[in-house]
Structure 1
């Protein structure tokens, strides 16, 4: 399929276009699936993100709060007794392990051999490979919930993937999609007022760049009824405050530690409802480092 739209940036050999046909920003040319296969099967966790699994383990108390918030929404939608869960791009398996502790029966799809091996070492069921290759063996209407966290930015055909997810869900099932919120109002201020470049661009690993609006539209086009979205903490606020962590891993970790401390306190019973409403309000204004969108299959 040809892609056409306004060129919003250029990086290396890629144009970055606001594609009229797709409805979201992506790089052009779009890498073919065969180009990406080796990256995610062998290289991503070993070379691109070698510290990811260990850092997620170190941050697990905080991550479990993040997971619980998503699972709570899923449980509110599907009601009691419906607990069949698919995690697409399950990584090292921590989300599925947390879900199992809440009564979910889960399976993951993961292309990385290293991440899949880690998940299996914790007793998580993982199908190793890519969604398009494996989803046909799962059966229609097989799941009550599907989770995709930091997946859609990596795939050549997000619309096709979401249509496949729709087919796997039982009626009344829920999908949770999380993706970076890029070309956001905060990023526009950082570029215009503080001289930042498009630091969020990372081709070819990040192919697609979503906003709350374009991610919600993608979910709706697949056939889902969209619920009110939720933001994650706006890490780029640190940049507005002069803490330039771009390219500075040590400073980035210190900023992340402050974010974790704040969110752990906001998870206390006296503040939990406030946090949920605050992050929904941020999403309403397209503010937040990630957009988290929920969709319900009619």
Structure 2
């Protein structure tokens, strides 16, 4: 088999990883021609083609350089591999891809996930983080493979057969000038075959080990990504869905429409200490609406609180269940009717209401589940945050859709908006806490009472019944 492997390599920082990749490809049974795309001239040894230059002025445009070369040589190779310079693709991965491709329909491409290894030897999935998630309804059997769609199509690499590459080119979405949309420019170049060419990246979860690629730099360990134990829980849920043992539910449309899907609801949220502070010490029962992997909820359970969770979907629900959360699956508007008179001392609605078409309707329906002295906690972004105001004034592309829910998929929330929402639902605003990022903490004393409004990127409003 003739393979064309294109590697994006900016600067010199990853050159030692690049040489490891070159050695790996040279040791394969297949006939592999290597092309390295870089901004610098360098000696990579015999048999490695080096193409120097950026497609655009932006340094992050470098990965787009491989597309033109792939298109020009589409008839000369059987398989095309693109990767960044620290992604180790092995022959095992290639063979697995080719076998899966035989049973996948023409609009589906077998994809990969990046694996990292921490200092303690534990494995982490770098691509499973923040708002990215599995689609519970996507679970399907393809021959011997159980497959599912994961919303983060980026793994810093892709493989395409000659047929798939020509299909991508024909779609009109492959040979584009460098751009960014759902992802930043660097990531867009590695995801266009899926995100912009009418094809879908599917993860073969039944044969997952064959579709894991090593991220040699391990740069995200401890910063981004999910521990393997959390991912295994999600895979268990997907398998249960395939067997009909779990329904494929989805609570809300959790992704915004703005560039890079900013302000989307996180499925993989860290524990939020500011939320823990506003939950009353006397609360015995807490309802968390739109919970993700359940770290904040787990902290409450450790305080002796009984926590009921309405999860974002039936896959991430399994992570919350494993932490002791009593999970109630269902649709956002119908779940309140399922509690049959049950009441809660505190209800959490964290980064949920700002994503809904009619936030006050949902807020009112859940407020009815409060005990007479209960508290409802609403978390949202704060668009009074001075850097956000400045970017809106400057018409930054990420901010221009704001103000139109139809275009952005979210509401522009400020302290005044949260007070109005609570008031329209018969609730009194007890307080609003602004979460000030570390870099602005030193300015809190300079601007006095306005500091938290101007420099708090997030808000937590606490409401009570009149």
Do the two structures share a fold, i.e. TM-score over 0.5? yes
Tell me by how many angstroms 1:112 deviates: 1.3
Tell me by how many angstroms 1:188 deviates: 2.6
1:176 to 358, 370, 377: 377
- How well do the aligned residues superpose, as a CA RMSD in angstroms? 3.9
Secondary structure of the residue aligned to 1:136 is helix
CA distance in 1, matches of 2:413, 2:305: 29
CA distance in 1, matches of 2:308, 2:284: 11
Deviations, residues 68-120 of structure 1 (Å, cap 9, x unaligned): x3233221xxx53x411000001111121111011110100014122112112
Any unmatched runs of 5+ in structure 1? 1-38, 235-258
Deviations, residues 254-291 of structure 1 (Å, cap 9, x unaligned): xxxxx4xx79xx8xxxx9xx99xx997534x3542212
1:215 to 401, 418, 441: 418
Name the residue aligned to 2:150.
46
CA distance in 1, matches of 2:328, 2:357: 20
Any unmatched runs of 5+ in structure 2? 1-133, 139-148, 156-223, 231-268
User: 1:145·1:174 contact (CA, 8 Å) conserved in 2?
Assistant: yes
Q: Which has the higher contact order (CA 8 A, sep 6+)?
A: 1
Name the residue aligned to 2:463.
295
TM-score, normalising length: structure 2: 0.39
CA distance in 1, matches of 2:294, 2:462: 21
Secondary structure of the residue aligned to 1:128 is coil
Alignment of 1:1-298 (within 5 A): 42=137, 46-47=150-151, 54=226, 63-64=270-271, 66-67=272-273, 69-75=274-280, 80=282, 82-140=283-341, 142-182=343-383, 184-192=385-393, 196-199=396-399, 201=401, 206-234=409-437, 259=438, 281-283=450-452, 285-298=453-466
TM-score, normalising length: structure 1: 0.59
CA distance in 1, matches of 2:457, 2:351: 12
Tell me how many residue pairs correspond in the alignment.
212
User: 2:348·2:377 contact (CA, 8 Å) conserved in 1?
Assistant: yes
The structure 1 segments of at least 4 consecutive aligned residues displaced by more than 6 Å after TM superposition are: 49-53, 202-205
User: 1:179·1:292 contact (CA, 8 Å) conserved in 2?
Assistant: yes
Secondary structure of the residue aligned to 2:456 is coil
Secondary structure of the residue aligned to 1:92 is coil
The verdict on how the C-alpha distance between 1:116 and 1:47 changes in structure 2, with shifts beyond 3 A counting, is same
CA distance in 2, matches of 1:181, 1:144: 26
User: 1:176·1:294 contact (CA, 8 Å) conserved in 2?
Assistant: yes
Whose Rg is larger? Answer: 2
Deviations, residues 56-75 of structure 1 (Å, cap 9, x unaligned): x8xxxx944x33x3233221
Name the residue aligned to 1:24.
none
